[in-house]
A and B are shown apart, each in its own frame.
Chain A
Amino acid sequence: MQRYLFSRLAQSLLILIGLLIIVFFMVRVTGDPASLMMSREASPESIAAFRHKMGFDRPLIVQFWDFLTHVVVGDFGNSLHFKTPALPLLLERLPATVELATIGLIMAMLIAIPLGLIGGFNPGSSIDSIGRGLALLGQSIPNFWLALILILFFAVKLRWFPSFGRDEFKSVILPAFVIGLPTMGQLVRMTRSAVLEIRGEDFVRTAHSKGLEPRVIYIKHVLRNVAVMLVSVIGVQYSYMLGGSIYIEAVFAWPGMGQLTEQAIGWRDFTLVQAIAVFGSVVVLAINLLTDVAYALIDPRIRYGD
């Protein structure tokens, strides 16, 4: 298992390096990062001064080395808008996003997994139809639009929930539900198909041929294997939700990294946008790595793999 985890760690580091290369060159792909970052009305002189100040007039390789050595120690440069280091700005916003995504994930799991299990064990039943309908809607409804509709209905009309902000606990319900909706749809599908797949496995037939009680077969042979399959799915979904936070936080004025992203784009604060891209990816890579650890812990094929 150690070797497995070590190789996954090495892979993550490689991906991180690739990511830094992409980010570095994307900022420069338009040819002139200085005019990209300055307002459109800026005079040529001030752009030139800015270019020199940011070091964009140095050779690319020097700039890249500079970028790399700074990022490694957590220095993402100063935000153009706030004129302060970018990383603390991000770290300040991280808890709100983690809270939103985590509650969203839990809500999605609480609704989706039971529906998927029931659907998988009783394909064609009415609960299965409900689950599949929900899965389809979760995939098809643009959640940033649903966010608007829910605000209109539950916050403006019924006044059950606040329409924006992060004050009382009630305020997390709507955004968490909306951010979890696509995940909910995916999870219903995945759980259902995992159950159907495992139920069709030869080893489940073996279990039946041993004369075991159906309850024992479902819990010991089917559900445990379904759980193994779902762990990796849930990890991936969690990282999708962090991405989705850009829209949802913008709509609900939820003070997390997603809202900061939207604001930074509006301010043309590209050092901040760049920092978010790198930092967000690091968070996602870390989640993937944790998922792999969890996966290794519950799946003996990896735990005791050679």
Chain B
Amino acid sequence: MTYTPQLRELMKKVEETRPSRVGVHFPRMSQEERQDVLQKFHPDYIEDGFRELKVGVNKGSRLPNEMADVFESYSPLRDVELDLTADPDYDVDVLIIGGGGAGASAALDAHAAGAKVMIATKLRFGDANTMMAQGGIQAADKENDSPAIHYLDVMGGGRLENVPELARALVMDAPLVIKWLEDMGTMFDKKEDGTMITNHGGGTSRKRMHAARDYTGAEIMRTLRDEVYNQGINVVEFAAAVEVLLDENGRAAGAVLYNLETEEYLIARAKTVIIATGGSGRLHYRGFPTSNHYGATADGLIMGYRAGAKTIYADSIQYHPTGGAYPPQLLGLLVTEKTRGLGATPLNIKGEQFVYHLETRDVESSAIIRECEERGMGVPLPTGITAVWLDSPILELTHGEGTIERQLPAMLRQFQRFGVDIRKEPMLIYPTLHYQNGGLLIDGNGHSAVENLYVAGEAAGGIHGTNRLMGNSLLDIIVFGRRAGRDAAAKSKDMPGPEKLTLEHVKAYHRELEEAGAAGSRVGPILLPHYTHR
């Protein structure tokens, strides 16, 4: 009995309206309605949450305040004496920073191309948003679908602001990625004859969402990780990169790593460096809860930026429409989009649907915020916030009993742990901070504006424009991880190792910060969020 008597009373409305909602399609918004709800309610449009960046190559660009705080900060190495002329602790062809899906994919392809590869990661290998991605991975691998149709969905969903070259690479590689994963023994949902079972996600025009129950990212991550270990690739855990090293010609040449356990700094020299550090949800923009991994603190963004990489759409943040709102232990936790993909709809306090359930994430989130904030039709919770219902029990009516247990086992288990049976009781949800749409700008090979510096995964930007569709992130980490890995390996073959390692760019950045009076006492990357005594 987790829901309070007041909530149980309100839940009756949902039960009352349920039979009349089965099989009824709520209309999709027009383009004008979408634009209107976004501008009035999406946090990206609320100006006091942003400020102009005072330093670096993108000086003057708009960033969320919390990200700007990280960008306008001193390096943790400011008062640290490092001997960069000594023999490095590690010396490799390709240094990959980050042990999520992008890093693992990059490592496998760079290794396959014959490079000496090393992964340095802040926490454990596999501690990443990849592990938490539930709903699926997109690829146009059905006869009624094509990469071009996928491309149109990606561009339209991204408000046509995507870098066309990157969106093209994403969709064209997609079926190849699925094949690669299938051959590696990834356990996708399939029919008897091997046909991949695919569904819709928000903003898709074809059913191209491949899933592994609702543990899709976890299944992909554990398979990639297992293969990295099988290949004998060196993985150094609890070694957070804090700064990219450059050579005397301004090319990437390694990184300074911080051993979180012994609190020592280590030098990794490399011919090429791939930043695959993921997102930044743990910066909690505008105080939003997040669905992100503990380590998602924008480390790669600030390191890459100090080294001279450019940002793109760093002010574009994705709020996932269905974050857990109650019980409080589930606050911010991702309720997979697969739940809506299967047909669960958001409902207001009267048990009425107020938005088509598969609008793109930005529009869906904005509509939920509007329902609660402007229309006052949200469900008040004992914790003091408001939320809307997500009618999961309707799935048992529309798809048959047992659907939730089969298709959404992770969701079922998580809510059960805190006393809610989503087969019988609707969920309470509110948008949660989910994804960094932008990041460091790359080209089709994952290369950044800095020579020999690559970026892959959520840290990279441009692929999704200013709004990513479900299932394109698991895809992008592998597409661009592999592309970066292959290109970095090829490049490092024809290249002698860097002669001299420097951190002069960091000193220059510090001078710029001081001239702009921008940093105060802040230090970044922050590496870990601080939740003590909250």
A and B associate in one complex: no
| Chain B interface residues toward A at CB < 8 A | none
| Chain A interface residues toward B at CB < 8 A | none
